[in-house]
């Protein structure tokens, strides 16, 4: 069992003195079946009023929630949490199960295209081929493998407004592009899937108490009878090194 402390610092620079700056932070990790947030604190410098609020994000009927904190000027978010291994897939549905009207209706928003995960004849053909060769859970892994065969990881090659189709056309991208393109394939096969944003601890053998430079990261969640996570960028399962912040249809607004 891992216990991590995540420190996320963000600053703003204005071209002239600012008399007021109202902001919202959507960076509080989620407490769910995979991880538990022990302590979360938001600090601002200069110090001013911090107001915690809650809101829904993403697929409302699925109860997706993301903590929202209102504040002024700069902030420094400190998080201490204890992670738990992800829940195993308790039930693996067949393709015919996923095509049931009740499933399609429940996860409709996580099956439809978006601006960042648009429909594509090429992607549809890829998904159709993968679906013929694999059952749904394995098809998700195969879809991520196809994405890695098409994209090179090049830091700074894309931006927050880049779609999965844009990244595929360029043949390169970062984690968010690997996720968007994977979502295009997976959703195109009829598998509900969503974007996950959070943090990744890079060292599985880190010394306790030693500070390590982590980074923001993104991966996917797929529903094949239950929700489970996969990292298409590194072709790995999600473990204690991953800290989930938010989930949604595409890039959660906290990262835009």
pLDDT digits 0-9 by tens, 27-45: 778 788 888 888 877 777 6
**Res 8: pLDDT:** 81
- For residues 96 and 126, give the distance between their C-alpha atoms in angstroms, rounded to a whole number: 19
| pTM, 2 dp | 0.68
DSSP string, 228-242: EEEETTTTEE--TTE
Which comes out higher in pLDDT, residue 61 or 227?
227
**Res 70: pLDDT:** 63
Contact call for residues 209 and 73 (beta carbons, < 8 A): no
Q: Check whether 19 has a pLDDT greater than 70.
A: no
Mean pLDDT of 167-175: 95
Contact call for residues 219 and 237 (beta carbons, < 8 A): no
| Count of residues in the chain | 256
**Res 1: pLDDT:** 78
Contact call for residues 154 and 173 (beta carbons, < 8 A): yes
The domains found in the chain, sorted by start residue, are 3-83 (no CATH), 95-255 (3.10.620.30)
Contact call for residues 178 and 163 (beta carbons, < 8 A): no
Q: Please give the structure tokens belonging to residue 63.
A: 């109860």
């Amino acid at each position: 069992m891992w216990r991590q402390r995540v420190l996320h610092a963000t600053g703003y620079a204005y071209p002239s003195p600012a008399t007021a700056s109202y902001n919202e932070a959507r960076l509080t990790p989620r407490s769910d079946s995979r991880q538990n947030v022990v302590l979360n604190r938001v600090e601002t410098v200069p110090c001013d009023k911090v107001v915690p609020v809650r809101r829904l994000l993403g697929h409302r009927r699925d109860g997706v929630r993301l903590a929202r904190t209102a504040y002024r000027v700069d902030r420094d978010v400190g998080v201490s949490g204890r992670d738990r291994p992800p829940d195993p897939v308790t039930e693996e549905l067949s393709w015919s199960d996923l095509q049931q009207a009740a499933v399609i209706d429940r996860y409709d928003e996580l099956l439809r295209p978006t601006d960042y995960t648009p429909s594509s004849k090429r992607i549809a053909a890829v998904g159709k081929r993968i679906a013929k060769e694999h059952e749904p859970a394995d098809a998700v892994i195969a879809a991520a493998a196809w994405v890695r065969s098409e994209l090179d990881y090049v830091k700074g090659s894309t931006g927050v407004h880049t779609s999965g189709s844009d990244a595929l056309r360029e043949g390169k991208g970062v984690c968010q592009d690997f996720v968007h393109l994977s979502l295009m394939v997976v959703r195109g096969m009829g598998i509900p899937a969503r974007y996950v944003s959070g943090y990744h601890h890079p060292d599985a053998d880190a010394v306790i108490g030693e500070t390590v430079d982590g980074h923001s990261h993104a991966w996917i969640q797929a529903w094949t009878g239950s929700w489970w996570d996969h990292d298409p960028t590194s072709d790995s399962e999600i473990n204690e090194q991953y800290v989930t912040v938010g989930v949604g249809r595409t890039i959660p607004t906290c990262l835009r």
